[in-house]
Copies of this chain bind each other. A is one copy, B any other.
Amino acid sequence: MHYKLALIGFGNVARSLARLLIRKQELLKSKYDITFSFTGISTGSHGFAVNPNGLDIEQALELAENGKDISSLSTFQVQDSLAVIQHSQADFMFENSPVDYETGQPAIDHVRAALNAGMHVSTANKGTVVHAYQELTELAKSKNKRFMFESTVLGGTPVFSTFREAMPLAELISFKGIINATTNLILSRMEEGESFDDAVKYCQGMGIAETDPSGDVDGWDASIKVAALATVLMDTPLKPQQVERTGIREITSEMIAKAKADDKRYKLVASAEWAGKVIKARVAPELVEPSSPLYGMMGSSTGLTFRTDVLPDYSITVSEREGMKGGPVETAYGLFSDFVNVVK
C-alpha cells in the first residue's frame, strides 16, 4: 500500500517528521508493506509545493533549511495551504501550522478540508482539539477516516493512544502532573540560584520559550493541554478558559530557597478531576514533597499521573537524556506513530 503525504507547516517538527519517515522507510516496508511519498508541502514563509507524483523531499528539506523558497519544486501554481491540500491528492495530511489558542485557526480549516477530501489527519496543534474535537472526530468518522493528535500533549510520548489502545474501558477519575517543560526548566534553574529573568532568557536562547514568554509562564500552555486531555480522555468538552489558572510569576527566588531548605520544591501542577458531574481543572504552582512523583521531575522533564477505576495510580514520565531532549524530534514521533497506527 502506497501513501501520499501532505505536510501543512514545514517547521522543525514537520522536518523532523520527514527525516524520521525516511529513516524508518525500510522498516515500514518490511514490517507493514507500506511505502510513501510527499505530494504537498506548505511552509510559513518559503512558499508552497505540490506534485501528485511525489516531490523530492531531500531537496525540499535542504531548501527550507537554507531559508530558500520551495516553490520551484512544484508542478502546480499554488498560493496557500488549502490549495496544497486540494491539489496534493494526499491520503494522509500532517497539520503543523502555528497554534492559535483563542480560535484554533487556521488549523481547524486545514483539518476539515483534508478530511473532506478523504485524507486521514494527524496534528500537533492543540487548538484543533480544544476548539473542534467533537466536530472533527465526527467528520472523520463520517468519511471513514481518522483524526489523530498524539503529539499535542507530552510531545510525542504516547498518552492518548495508551488510553485508546492499552487501557480499554478504564474510567479516568482524575489526572495530575507537569505538562509544560519551559516552566519546569525555569523553576529548576531558579532552584540552582538563577533569577527568573535569566532563566526565561536561557529558555528563549534554547528556543523553547517565545519572545513573549507569557504563554508558558502564565500557565496558558498547560491550561490548553489540560483542556485537551479532559476533552478527549474524560469525554467532556473543556475550554482552556474553564481551567483555574495561576502562572509562576509570583514564585520568588526567596520562596524557592525557603522550599529547598525544607526539602520541598515548587512545581507548576496541572490537574483535572470529576467533582460531581463537572470537571474541576486547575493549573497552579504547588509545593511538592520528596515522596511525590513530581518531585524528581527536573529540567524539561514532564509527566502525568492518572487515577482510574482499574489500576493503582499510573504515571508516565518523560525525561531528557544525553542526545535526546524533548522538542521537535519527540513531537515528530507522535505524528509518525499516529500515521503507523492508522495505516498498519
Q: Which residues of A contact B (CB under 8 A)?
A: 20, 24, 27-28, 31, 155-158, 161-162, 165-170, 290-293, 295-296, 298, 303, 305, 307, 310-321, 324-326, 329-330, 333, 336-337, 340-341, 344
- Give the residues in chain B near A320, CB-CB below 8 Å: 312-313
Known: A169-B340, A310-B329. 7 other contacts (CB 8 A): A158-B162, A158-B167, A167-B337, A292-B296, A303-B315, A313-B318, A315-B317
Q: With A291-B298, A337-B167, A337-B168 in contact, do A318 and B310 touch (Cβ < 8 Å)?
A: no
Q: With A166-B162, A291-B296, A340-B169 in contact, do A316 and B314 touch (Cβ < 8 Å)?
A: yes
- Compute how far the CA of A85 lies from the CA of B320 in the bound complex, rounded to whole angstroms: 49
Q: With A293-B296, A311-B318, A321-B307 in contact, do A166 and B156 touch (Cβ < 8 Å)?
A: no
Give the Cβ gap from A292 to chain B, nearest Cβ, in Å: 7
- Give the residues in chain B near A170, CB-CB below 8 Å: 333
Give the Cβ gap from A45 to chain B, nearest Cβ, in Å: 29
Q: Is B312's CB under 8 angstroms from A333's CB?
A: no
Q: With A156-B310, A290-B290, A316-B315 in contact, do A161 and B165 touch (Cβ < 8 Å)?
A: yes
Give the Cβ gap from A180 to chain B, nearest Cβ, in Å: 15
Q: Is B311's CB under 8 angstroms from A344's CB?
A: no
Which of A293, A329, A341, A344 has the most CB atoms of chain B within a 10 A radius of its CB? A293
- Compute how far the CA of A292 lies from the CA of B295 in the bound complex, rounded to whole angstroms: 10
- Compute how far the CA of A158 lies from the CA of B165 in the bound complex, rounded to whole angstroms: 10
Which of A162, A310, A337 has the most CB atoms of chain B within a 10 A radius of its CB? A310
Give the Cβ gap from A7 to chain B, nearest Cβ, in Å: 19
Q: Is B330's CB under 8 angstroms from A168's CB?
A: no
- Give the residues in chain B near A20, CB-CB below 8 Å: 310
Across the interface, A166 reaches (CB within 8 A) one of B27, B158, B324, namely B158
Q: Is A312's CB under 8 angstroms from B307's CB?
A: no
Q: Is B312's CB under 8 angstroms from A319's CB?
A: yes
Q: Is A24's CB under 8 angstroms from B169's CB?
A: yes
Across the interface, A313 reaches (CB within 8 A) one of B167, B321, B341, namely B321
Q: Is A330's CB under 8 angstroms from B311's CB?
A: yes
Give the Cβ gap from A17 to chain B, nearest Cβ, in Å: 11
- Compute how far the CA of A337 lies from the CA of B162 in the bound complex, rounded to whole angstroms: 12
Q: Is A321's CB under 8 angstroms from B325's CB?
A: no
Please give me the 8 A-B residue pairs with the lowest Cβ-Cβ distance, nearest first.
A158-B166, A165-B165, A161-B166, A168-B340, A315-B317, A310-B333, A313-B319, A312-B324
Q: Is A324's CB under 8 angstroms from B344's CB?
A: no
Q: Is B165's CB under 8 angstroms from A341's CB?
A: yes
A-B contact pairs, 8 of them (CB 8 A): A165-B341, A166-B166, A168-B337, A170-B333, A307-B321, A312-B319, A314-B317, A315-B319
